[in-house]
Amino acid sequence: MPTHEREAKARRRLVLIVDDSPVDLDVSRRRLEQAGYDCLLREMPLGTAAIVLRERPDAVLMDVGLPGLNGDQIASLLRKNDGTPCPIVILHSGLPVSALEQLARECGAIGFIQKTGDNELFISQFNRLFMRGVGS
């Protein structure tokens, strides 16, 4: 692999996507990969903290409506870690904006993205939140 390709690959950021919908998981993955991110996928909420500790993603795109343990609950757990750096957590849901704003505040997420069919809107919102998280 040429040096410039290795350097470009080294700069890519890793995003863990957690969503119980295989369709939403795949759509989010494709969008983020096209925008230059590497992705890990997880359909189940349980065990997410262990994946975060092992893989050290730069960000977690977390569906809110997960079975057994909601995404905002997982985000709260990640924020209350034992000194391990917490990734940027972005909530992802079809809930109304007011509900997502409140959940993001309560769980310590950097923000939220309302589920949308608009690829450009999704990526612009993700990039904005990611950069805000990197800067904090």
Question: Token pair of 104, please?
Answer: 């993001």
Q: What is the pTM of this model?
A: 0.87
Q: How many domains does the chain have?
A: 1
Q: Which domain holds residue 83?
A: 14-135
Q: Is residue 4 assigned to a domain?
A: no
pLDDT number for residue 49: 86
The CATH code of the domain that includes 78 is: 3.40.50.2300
- Determine contact, residues 45/76, Cβ cutoff 8 Å: no
In a domain, 38, yes or no: yes
129 lies in some domain: yes
Q: Could you read off the pLDDT tens digit of each residue along the chain, which spans 136 residues? A: 454 444 445 558 999 999 999 999 999 999 999 999 999 999 998 889 889 989 999 999 999 999 888 888 888 888 776 555 678 899 999 999 999 999 999 988 999 999 999 999 999 999 999 999 887 6
Q: Are strands 38-42 and 88-93 parallel, antiparallel or unpaired?
A: unpaired
d(C-alpha 107, C-alpha 60), whole Å: 13
pLDDT for residue 8 = 46
Give the span between the Cα atoms of 85 and 56, in whole angstroms. Answer: 9
Residue 1 domain-assigned (yes or no): no
pLDDT of residue 53: 87
- Tokens 């509900």: give the residue: 99
Q: Within the chain, what is the greatest distance between any pair of CA atoms?
A: 48
Instruction: Quote the pLDDT of residue 123.
Output: 97
The Cα 6–Cα 92 span in angstroms is 31
